[in-house]
Amino acid sequence: MTDEISITGIRATGFHGVYDHERRDGQEFVADVVLSLSFAAAAASDDVADTVHYGEVAERVAAILAGDPVDLIETVADRIATAVLTGWPLVDAVTITVHKPAAPIPVPFGDVAVTVRRSRA
């Protein structure tokens, strides 16, 4: 059985993009994170040490969103997934969605997002 922790709407200003103005001016990026793990130990102990501290995960995600610039949000999503699986051994799998709501698209749109799913297997 797998349980999930969801953290949605993590925001940070980043400088990702293929265009010079994106790298120069930056823009807001938003990430949603779903962590798959068992809650059995945490439910039995009622101790945060037996689960994943979602505040710490959110801080790490925001740091990556605001971190070293890359061209693609696909790369940002993969960096977040790798960081979560590396940093929190209780997490069996992770789903990361990175949104770029101010993407330079010349027509009206609501959002642009990419999603990656990674697991320890």
Which candidate, 58, 71, 67, places its Cα nearest to that of 103? Answer: 71
Q: Is 100 a catalytic residue?
A: yes
State the distance between the two ends of the chain, measured CA to CA, in whole angstroms: 16
User: How far is residue 86 from each of residues 29, 36, 82, 89, measured CA to CA in Å?
Assistant: 22, 14, 6, 7
The dihedrals phi and psi of 22, each to the nearest 5 degrees, come to -70, -40
Q: What gap in Å lies between CA 57 and CA 112, rounded to an integer?
A: 23
Q: Which of 51, 61, 100, 116 is catalytic?
A: 100
Both tokens of 112, joined, read: 């642009």
User: Which residues are identified as catalytic?
Assistant: 100
